[in-house]
Amino acid sequence: MNKSGITVGAVALAIAANAGAAHAFCGFYVSGSGAKMSNDATQVVLMRAGTRTVLSMQNDYKGPLEDFAMVIPVPVVLHEGDVKTLPKQVFDHVESLGSPRLVEYWEQDPCPQPVPNEVQYEMAPRAMGAGMAMPETKRANKSAVKIEAKFDVAEYQVLILSATDSTGLEQWLTDNHYKIPAGAEPLLRPYVEGGSKFFVAKVDPKKVQMVEGHAALSPIRFHYDSDEFSLPIRLGMANSSGKQDLIVNILSENKRYEVANYKNVFIPTNFDVKNAVKSRFSEFYAALFDKTVEANPGAVVTEYAWTATQGYHCDPCPELDVNTTDMASLGADVIGGNIANHFVMTRLHARYGKRDMKDDLRFKEAKAVTGGREEYSKAGIEYGAKPSEENYFQGRYIVRHWWTGPMTCANPQRGVWGGPPDGGANQVIAASKIAFAPRGRMELGSVIQRDLWEIGYKKGTAPAPKAPSGGGFSKPPQNGAGVKAMGLGAGALGAMLLLGLGSVITRRRKS
């Protein structure tokens, strides 16, 4: 059992020259040409049970194809049976499930016609859709590097290396026609001294298709056993030209995770926004995320933590949901147990530069929380993250349309929300590619409907729309059962990422 505290991962050494921010890559690229290579976007999924970790990653790479490779530190020697490639749609499903959501609701007729034997239900959603000084010169020990394993997986020619000297590892890569980015050797050193092995996945350019200037690399997965559960990020600081975004999704049968060595915060959730946010949702969310990190420097932000079972995956649910086949691809086949049918997905988001984070991300188990649902109490709609028996937390934001038609009954029932008056489905939009959303253009305070006391941020001075008499943005409906009856949390997804399940289900809750 490995106890070195080093596990798989690290972040991209090369950042897109035309982007101030990019998703992080788990490792770094080396190239025979020494040309500029960049990783525009990476998704990382970790499945964890006991001491076993399965790491899956998808990289959106842009750069020269001539004989380049990925170099990733790993805690143990990997063998051919430990490494495989995955279908790309698995990552679309994971991204879809954990993405922040914008929902749109219409107040229902306060004087509805009575419906005999009315059944309370919720509709399943329908979808349409991230100045280091050069090290002192040291004589390299070429014999310090050993090839522990060698095999091919799809377009990847894999070597597993061990090294007892970081300069020797650098020299080995140089002798084999790869150029280490400047400043990488001192960042490699702690992994070498900690006993890490190095996963070197060379890519055969003849087997790689270019799509719109990006190399369509197959997603890759490997698993290992280690007492430590962590993700190294220090390698990615070598040539970072700005901020990097890293989103880590963790799948576990019954646990939520957070970081053990940095501050943890939850993204502010469950507040109303103006209609203008609909066409600029990713930009809005990037502004919200930046303000959250500004109020909590160096923090890692929890954006999603949800217990998914066969009958209740999410609320609202995307059509690109994570299914049992996806779970097998992501590691259920080597994890075992019932994780394919019952799991907690945690989405953690960090944004950092060279000086922001001095240690790798180290994960620990965390207590269950809830938040970001259309749930009311005497104090109004829930906000923030609250202790719970199960994990039901998400980043969710709401555009509401109050009833403007006639009210002819004696006791109108206000604040019952559902789909549009024409009978269509509720609109839901997902925030995607947040790392590349325009920044600095949207004034967050001008589009939110309440102060974000969670991060000490106040809305703008422009008056917000007032709720009609008998209702309010945070006031529960007078007939509380009406919330369920109108199917809150359901809807057709307007973003390309999210589609609907196309069925009507009874909502299941944990007692």
Q: Identify which has the larger pLDDT, 27 or 323.
A: 323
pLDDT at 446: 94
Residue that has been written with the tokens 């997965």 in this structure: 221
Neighbouring residues of 368: CB distance < 8 A, sequence distance ≥ 6: 256, 305, 307, 387, 388, 389, 390, 391
CB 283 within 8 A of CB 273: no
Confidence band for 356, pLDDT divided at 50, 70 and 90: confident
pLDDT > 80? residue 98: yes
Displacement of CA 429 from its chain's centroid (Å): 16
Residue 495's nearest CA partner among 318, 342, 261 is 318
pLDDT tens sequence across 267-295: 999 999 999 999 999 999 999 999 999 99
Assigned token pair, 86? 């995955």
Band of the pLDDT at 343, cuts 50, 70, 90? Answer: very high
Average pLDDT over residues 65-73: 73
Q: Name the H helices within 194-328.
A: 281-295, 324-327
Radius of gyration for the chain, computed over Cα atoms and rounded to the nearest angstrom: 24
Q: Which residues pair with 497 in a beta bridge?
A: none
- The 10s digit of each residue's pLDDT in 393-433 is 999 999 999 999 999 899 999 988 888 888 777 777 888 77
Tens-digit pLDDT profile for residues 361-370 = 899 999 999 9
Angstrom distances, CA of residue 245 to CA of 2, 19, 150, 428:
29, 12, 32, 24
**With bands split at pLDDT 50, 70 and 90, how would you rate the model's confidence at 146?**
very high
List of residues 6+ apart from 243 with CB closer than 8 A: 20, 21, 351, 352, 353
